[in-house]
Amino acid sequence: MKEHPMNDQEGKDESAERDADLLESILNGEPMRDDARVEARRLELEAFLATCRETFAGDEEVDRIGARRLAGRILARTTREDLSWRGDIGLMVRYVKSRFADSAALRVAAAVLLVHFVVAPSVLAYYVFVKPEPDLWIKYEQRGELPYALEVEEPPLEIEFRPLDDDDEPR
Amino acid sequence: MKETWDSERDPLAALRDGDPEPFEAFVVSATPAFLAFFGRLGASRAEAEDLVQEVFLKLFRTAPSYTQRGRFAAYAFRVARNGWIDRVRKRGAEAEGLGMPVASGGADEGRTSAIERAPATGTEEPGSGLARREEAARLRAALARLPEHHRLVFELGVLQEMPYESIADTLEIPVGTVKSRMFHAVRKLRAALGEDVA
């Protein structure tokens, strides 16, 4: 006889509820019950959970050395923190590093500042002192005095001589 | 819950009282677990290391004002989970800023984490090796495909072995929700392995 759809649904709900209860009982470490049918299901679920634990248990073993190193770094920043000036410098370096890691804008600003205050003066100093480029600068040269021989001489004044007249009185 | 998480003294309470040893022991023992945790959530190795450092630093900084409420592991995982949520949000905001599509469900679904890419370890018998590796690969892929809220519940309950109450405390959700999410997560994973889930 075909089962009524409503009964089918009810059966599924009941089974789901039973599984949820069983999972809770297993994971909370509660003891088994006396119902054989329920306990068979419980063993099935327990086997599945054991498989899961076995599969993922290796995850913590993947990088033991890396994990130990990380734990060391954490302790160096917490209970074993260096309180001397070296520790202060380390703290500042870590802070700056974390800020840089967090903000792209800060990285760009720092790069621009670096170019302005370190790289540009260094390049400039190199070209000025080590390898001056002949055409790098515009030179303003003062015009020197021209040689004497080249000075323009003014033409001598022309003197007109004429014979004295009688009217002329000697000065 | 895992034994290593249940130290005699609450690491933060001890730190607050001037004894750093339990906290140091906790850092050493829990670092691999947190790395694996973030790796399974979808973080790359570098990102997972960054997140683990953030978690421990945050825990360390809260020590002076720390008051013990419930289990320490639940508190530590809550800090880890909040760190992960912040990271996913930040990643989403950056992707939006660059005009890139934002991955749904928190983690980058298409991206494989370092843990996911790592080969399965452990001793295997020659005959069953291939089948086991295939099964493990299917399980990892299925876990990576789970919605984040299901993945977190599964991670804390099954892999970190936390009781439902602690999971509810960690994720700040009711125990009933933990129960329902765990059921769906396990059902999906079992279906991925071809098990009978009816």
Closest CA to B4 of B87, B72, B58: B72
Write the pLDDT tens digit of every residue in B124-143.
455 566 777 788 888 888 88
Q: In chain B, which ranges are E strands?
A: none
Closest CA to B68 of B16, B5, B29: B16
Interface ipTM: 0.71
Q: Which residue of A has its CA nearest to B24?
A: A75
Question: Does residue B138 fall inside a structural domain?
Answer: yes
What is the average per-residue pLDDT within A131-139?
68
The percentage of chain A sitting over the pLDDT mark of 90, rounded to a whole number, equals 9
Question: Does residue B36 fall inside a structural domain?
Answer: yes
Quote the longest CA-to-CA distance of chain B: 56
**Contact residues, chain B, for A47 at CB < 8 Å:** none
Where in the sequence is the domain holding A18, given as residue range(s)? 5-61
Inter-chain CB proximity B164 and A27 less than 8 Å: yes
pLDDT (0 to 100) of residue A74 = 92
Question: Does residue A144 fall inside a structural domain?
Answer: no
CB pairs < 8 Å spanning A and B? 117
Res. B185: pLDDT tops 90: yes
pTM, to two decimals: 0.62
Question: Does residue B198 fall inside a structural domain?
Answer: no
- B57, B114, B120 member nearest A77 (Cβ): B57
- The count of structural domains within chain A is 1
Question: Does residue B84 fall inside a structural domain?
Answer: yes
**Contact residues, chain A, for B40 at CB < 8 Å:** 56, 59
Inter-chain CB proximity A79 and B35 less than 8 Å: no
Residue type at position A100? F
Q: Which residue of B has its CA nearest to A18?
A: B183
Question: Does residue A102 fall inside a structural domain?
Answer: no
Question: Does residue A160 fall inside a structural domain?
Answer: no
Res. A4: pLDDT tops 50: yes
| Distance from C-alpha of B13 to C-alpha of B2, rounded to nearest angstrom | 20
What is the Rg, in whole angstroms, of the alpha carbon atoms belonging to chain A?
Answer: 51
- The count of structural domains within chain B is 1
Inter-chain CB proximity A74 and B56 less than 8 Å: yes
pLDDT (0 to 100) of residue B5 = 55
| Distance from C-alpha of B121 to C-alpha of A57, rounded to nearest angstrom | 8
- In this structure, what are the phi and psi dihedrals at residue B53, rounded to the nearest 5 degrees? -60, -45
Where in the sequence is the domain holding B55, given as residue range(s)? 3-122+130-192
Question: Does residue B160 fall inside a structural domain?
Answer: yes
pLDDT (0 to 100) of residue B103 = 46
Question: Does residue B197 fall inside a structural domain?
Answer: no
Confidence band for B59, pLDDT divided at 50, 70 and 90: very high
- Which of A105-109, B2-6, B57-61 is predicted least confidently? B2-6
Inter-chain CB proximity B31 and A19 less than 8 Å: no
Question: Does residue A99 fall inside a structural domain?
Answer: no
